[in-house]
Amino acid sequence: MGNSALRAHVETAQKTGVFQLKDRGLTEFPADLQKLTSNLRTIDLSNNKIESLPPLLIGKFTLLKSLSLNNNKLTVLPDEICSLKKLETLSLNSNHLRELPSTFGQLAALKTLSLSGNQLGALPPQLCTLRHLDVVDLSKNQIRSIPDTVGELQVIELNLNQNQISQISVKISCCPRLKILRLEENCLELSMLPQSILSDSQICLLAVEGNLFEIKKLRELEGYDKYMERFTATKKKFA
């Protein structure tokens, strides 16, 4: 892409606070954005070929609320991304990320995190310290088990579809705000699904199709009627 076209995008972004440059074959984060560190609220560089984010630049977007880099070639995130104190939405679907920075819990304003289609092998423990996190999408990764730390998650919706999960900690029932839990197409035996999810949690939508048991067997479990009460009450609320 020519310099003049990029300049035009930068000039527009200066006025609007939005920089969007998708499907352009970019191989690196545009250095010209350093002129806009104090006025950009949204950056969308999805569907490019960006392999890394510049550590010295990425943390300087002090007003940034939304960052989208879906469908790029990122393998690692720099720690500096965790300096984005106003960031509310982070979309990094379809990259090659294996883990999150250890300081990820500093993204205190984060509400929505999308990491579908990466190479995460575990539920990132850093998510448990994010108090405003509402929705997390970790579908299509390589997660095998859900550890006890999950009980500290504050999310309302957790998408774990299409992983390799065969074990789930009973602590998932302790998540104070969790309403929607998606576990479709994993490796779960019915005996590995904590019954407290049904009998003693806030969860009112549990999606478990495509595991190693028939859905009708789920309906026979103790606590299923309690789950259905929550499911029906929620359905009525949104009807």
Q: What is the mean pLDDT of residues 125-149?
A: 97
Q: What is the mean pLDDT of residues 165-180?
A: 98
d(CA 168, CA 188): 9
Whole-number Cα distances in Å, 43 to 18, 67, 225: 6, 5, 45
Whole-number Cα distances in Å, 37 to 2, 56, 74, 135, 162: 22, 11, 21, 27, 37
| Mean pLDDT estimate for the chain | 96
Look up the domain containing 21 and give its range.
Answer: 1-237
What band does 238 get if pLDDT is binned at 50, 70 and 90? confident
The CATH number of residue 65's host domain is 3.80.10.10
pTM score: 0.96
Residue range 177-200, pLDDT digits in tens:
999 999 999 999 999 999 999 999
Q: Is the pLDDT of residue 24 over 70?
A: yes
Percent of the chain beyond pLDDT 90? 93
Helix (H, G, I), strand (E, B) or coil at 180: strand
Alpha-carbon dihedral sign for residues 190, 196, 197, 198: positive
pLDDT at 73: 98
Q: Is the pLDDT of residue 2 over 70?
A: no
pLDDT at 237: 79
Percent of the chain beyond pLDDT 70? 99
d(CA 147, CA 170): 9
pLDDT at 6: 84
Nearest to 213 by CA among 201, 205, 204, 221: 221
The number of folded domains in the chain is: 1
Per-residue burial over 146-176, b = 16 or more CB atoms within 10 Å of its CB, e = otherwise: beebbbebbbbbbbbbbbebeebbbbbbbbe
Q: What is the mean pLDDT of residues 82-104?
A: 98
Q: Dihedrals φ, ψ of 157, to 5°? A: -130, 130
Q: What is the mean pLDDT of residues 44-51?
A: 98
Cβ neighbours of residue 191 closer than 8 Å, sequence gap 6 or more: none
What band does 1 get if pLDDT is binned at 50, 70 and 90? low
pLDDT at 236: 82
Q: Is the pLDDT of residue 37 over 60?
A: yes
Q: Is the pLDDT of residue 165 over 70?
A: yes
Q: Is the pLDDT of residue 104 over 90?
A: yes
Q: What is the mean pLDDT of residues 44-64?
A: 97
Q: Is the pLDDT of residue 5 over 90?
A: no
